[in-house]
Structure 1
Amino acid sequence: MALLEVDDLTVTYGAIRGVSGISLTVEEGEVVALIGANGAGKTTTLRAISRLVPSRGSIRFAGRDLTRLRPHEVTALGVVHVPEGRGIFPRLTVMENLELATWTRRRDREGIRRDLRRVFDLFPRLEERRDQVANTLSGGEQQMLALGRALMTRGRLMLLDEPSMGLAPVLVKEIFSVIQEISASGTTILLVEQNAHFALKIARRGYVLETGSIVLSGPAGAVAANPRVKAAYLGA
C-alpha cells in the first residue's frame, strides 16, 4: 500500500474543471515530482489532497480516507502543506512562526526542542534571525522559514508547492539541496515545481500534468528524457 493514493480525482470550479480524473501514488520515502505549465492543475491537486478544496474521487493517506476530513484533521494525521507563496505569518517573528507549527504536539517539549535544533542546523540564517519579523526576511529566507515550519509539524508527507518560485538561481540550488536532506531524513515529498530540471533531478518518479489530466508518468529519469517533456519543460 502506498503512503498516498489518489484515484480518479476531479476538482471543478463552477463549469471549469481544475483537474479531471487523475490518479497518482506516492510511496513511503519517495520524492515524487508533479510538473506542468501554469494552469495545468498542479496546485489544485495539492489543495484537494489537503482538503482545502472539495473534490470527487478517492484520496487515501496511510490507508485512511481523507475525503471527508477538514484541513486541520488532515494536518494532524501527518500531511503538511507548504503552499505556493509560502504562507508564513508575515507579522510574527521567525520563532513565533516555528512555534505555531507545533500546536498539535505542544506537550512534547523535548521533541520540539530537538526539532527546532534540526531546523536551525538546516537553516542557520533562521537562527540568526529568530527574533526578526517574517515579512522583513528575503524571499529565500521566507522559503526557508516555510520549510522549517513544515518540519516542526513532524509530518510524514510534505506537499511542496513551487518552492523555487521567485528565488535567485543560487538560492534555488540551496533550497533543493535542503529538500534532498529532508527526504533523506525520512520525510516523503510530493513536489509541485515549474523548474522541471531540478524537480526531476531529485525525484524518484514524476507525473506530467496538462490541462487537468496526467499525460505521462514514470521514473524521473525516463520522464526527463522524454522528447515531449524536454521540449516543453527542459528547454531542449
Structure 2
Amino acid sequence: MLKIEGINVYYGHIHALKDASVDVNQGEIVTLIGANGAGKSTLLKTISGLLKPKQGNILFEGESITGRQAQLIVKKGISHVPEGRRVFANMSVEENLEMGAFLRHDKKGIREDFQKVYDLFPRLYERRKQQSGTLSGGEQQMLAMGRALMARPRLLLLDEPSMGLAPLLVKTIFRIIAEINAAGTTVMLVEQNANMALSIANRAYVIETGRVVLQGSADELRASDQIKMAYLGGH
C-alpha cells in the first residue's frame, strides 16, 4: 500500500533521514521504534507532505505522492495524527471533528462517520459541545484520532499517541487503535512505548539516527535481545 524508497530528508544542514526505505501492506499495523530524535516523526511528516525529501520516492497504492501538497495527500486517503495532538483548542469537539471532514461533500457519509467516531470514543459524544482546550490529555488524543478518521483514511499515521497519558488510558488508546485497524484502516504507528506498540503491530522498523537499522515481525523484534536492551527496558 505504501512504499518508501531511499528517502533523504534534511532540516537545513541536518541530515534527518538517510536512505530510509519502509513498506506498509494493506491491513497491517506497522510500527516505527527508535530513540527521540531518531527521525520517526520526520518520516511521518514526509509521507503526509509536510516535509519534502531531497532524494527518494514515496508511493501510495502504486502512485508517487513525493512532494505533493498535504491536502492532496489527505484526499488520496492518508490522515496524520500529529505528535502533541494539536486540537483546535477554542473550537468544540464537534467543530474539530467537522474540520476532519473539510475535504468531503457527502453529507450522509459524514453523519455516519460522526456516529462511528462517537461509538469508538463515547467520551467525545458526552463532551461534543465542550471547548477542546478544556479536555484532558487523553480526551484530546481521542479527539485528534477521531478528527483524522473523519477524512475516512485508508492509511492512518499516528505519532506518539500514548505520550503523556496515564497507563490505563494508554491501554484504552491502543485497544482502539487495534479496533480501527480491525475495521479496515491500515495503521503506521510511531511510539515511544515500544512494548505496547509491538503488542498490537504486525511488523516493525527500528530507526537510529535517521537510518532503518532493523526490521522484522513484531514478535521477532520483541524476542530480540538487542531490542530488549535498547527499547524494552532490558527484560
TM-score (normalised: structure 2) = 0.98
| SS of match in other structure, 2:6 | strand
CA RMSD in angstroms comes to 0.7
DSSP-derived class of the 1:87 partner: coil
Task: Tell me how far 1:64 sits from its aligned partner.
Answer: 1.2
* Alignment partner of 1:200 is 2:198: yes
Segments of 5+ residues of structure 1 without an aligned counterpart are none
Give the whole-Å Cα distance in 2 for the aligned partners of 1:20 and 1:191: 20
C-alpha displacement of 1:201: 0.6
Structure-2 residue corresponding to 1:180 = 178
Deviation at residue 14 of structure 1 after TM alignment:
1.9
- Determine if contact 2:204/2:216 at 8 Å carries over to the other structure: yes
| Corresponding residue of 1:148 | 146
Question: Counterpart of 2:58?
Answer: 59
Name the CA distance, whole Å, in 2 between partners of 1:17 and 1:226. Answer: 28
Query: Is 1:30 aligned to residue 17 of structure 2?
Result: no
The whole-number CA distance in structure 1 between the counterparts of 2:197 and 2:8 is 24
**Preserved contact between residue 120 and residue 176 of structure 2 (Cα < 8 Å):** yes
For 1:183, what is the secondary structure of its paired residue? helix
SS of alignment partner, residue 189 of structure 2 = strand
Which residue is 1:8 aligned to? Answer: 6
Q: Residue 99 of structure 1 aligns to which amino acid in structure 2? A: E
The amino acid across from 1:39 in the alignment is: G
The answer for unaligned runs of 5 or more in structure 2 is none
Measured against aligned partners, the alpha-carbon deviations of 1:39-69 in whole angstroms (never above 9, x if no partner) come to 1000000001111011021001011111131
Corresponding residue to 2:133 among 118, 132, 135: 135
**Secondary structure of the residue that 1:153 maps to in structure 2?**
coil
2:47 matches 1:74: no
Letter in 1 for 2:129: D
Tell me, yes or no, if the aligned pair for 2:51 and 2:67 is still in contact at 8 Å. Answer: no
**What corresponds to 1:43 in structure 2?**
41
Q: Aligned AA for 1:71?
A: A
1:87, distance to aligned residue in structure 2 (A): 1.7
Between the aligned partners of 1:93 and 1:222, the Cα distance in structure 2 is 43
Are positions 1:165 and 2:163 aligned together? yes
Identical positions, percent: 55
Q: Quote how far apart the aligned CAs of 1:100 are.
A: 1.2
After TM superposition, the score normalised by the length of structure 1 is 0.97
- C-alpha distance in structure 2 between counterparts of 1:225 and 1:214, whole Å: 19
Letter in 2 for 1:33: T
1:58 and 1:178 mapped to 2: Cα distance? 31
TM-fit CA distance, 1:103: 1.4
Q: Which residue of 1 aligns with 2:118?
A: 120
